[in-house]
Amino acid sequence: MSGTIGPRPESIFNRFSFEFDGVDDSVSLVSDISLGTTSSVSFWIKRNDTAIAQPLGCVSAWSDFLVRLQTTQISFGRVPFIFNNATTLSTINQTTDWTHLLFVRTGATCNLYVNGVNNDGAKTNSNASWINKFRVIGAPGDGTTWAFNGLIDEVSLFTTALSSSDATAIYNGGVPTSLTPYSPLGWWRFEEESGTTATDSGSGGNDGTLENGVTRSIDVPS
């Protein structure tokens, strides 16, 4: 099912991303967000290295994460969906360009769109009822193990399964668009000029707190 409402969204004014040091930087939300069994997760990354990293986490680094990037596979969810297509891996595991990732889950099925393209096809796992949770940007729940080293921007969550055409529209040729037509539950744009708060522009009102010196960068997807 598509989450699209109305016309294709327009490009938005994007000034800042957040840069994480891969040691202990993170953005911690007020509370866990339960994604249910039908959901979509969208975000942009630009890596400084290709070490194992969890750009989106929850409580535990080992079993309670949302997204884990590895050399040979990309894992999504507590009962993980495994993506390992060579094109997917080569696109994500590089340190030169911004990359857009969109995970779309419906029960025991999940698709990963990388820069608007589904290279892997639908992946399945053994538990259609397992509910993914999310709380931390830039690191797992413990704040240190497999922390993300690089830039993250425009993190968003949806309670609908976005379509392939939505994936293309949101990628928008490499320029972030307004996600308002898709009614995001959470949307952290990182557009605050100062302070230690990352405002949730979605409907959930779940603001994040910058931990351990997360820095702002003017390097953004463009």
Q: In CATH, what number is assigned to the domain containing residue 176?
A: 2.60.120.200
| 3 belongs to a structural domain | no
pLDDT, residue 144, reads: 78
| 191 belongs to a structural domain | yes
Written as tens digits, the pLDDT of the chain (222 aa) is: 444 444 456 678 899 999 999 999 999 998 899 999 999 999 999 999 999 999 999 876 666 789 999 999 999 998 899 999 999 999 999 999 999 999 999 999 999 999 999 999 999 998 899 999 999 999 998 777 899 999 999 999 999 999 999 999 999 999 999 999 999 999 999 999 999 999 999 999 999 999 999 999 999 999
| 7 belongs to a structural domain | no
Domain hosting residue 202, numbered range: 17-217
| 222 belongs to a structural domain | no
pLDDT, residue 61, reads: 64
| 5 belongs to a structural domain | no
Asked whether the beta carbons of 93 and 71 are under 8 A apart, the reply is yes
Quick one: which of 121, 110, 117, 119 has its CA closest to 41? 110
pLDDT, residue 145, reads: 86
Q: With the C-alpha atoms ordered 32, 49, 145, 122, is the resulting torsion angle positive or negative?
A: positive
| 100 belongs to a structural domain | yes
Asked whether the beta carbons of 204 and 29 are under 8 A apart, the reply is no
pLDDT, residue 12, reads: 83
| 9 belongs to a structural domain | no
- Residue 195 CB coordination number (10 Å): 9
pLDDT, residue 171, reads: 97
Residue 165, classed as helix, strand or coil, is: helix
Q: Tokens representing 12? A: 């938005």
pLDDT, residue 4, reads: 45
When divided into structural domains, the chain yields a total of 1
pLDDT, residue 8, reads: 55
| 8 belongs to a structural domain | no
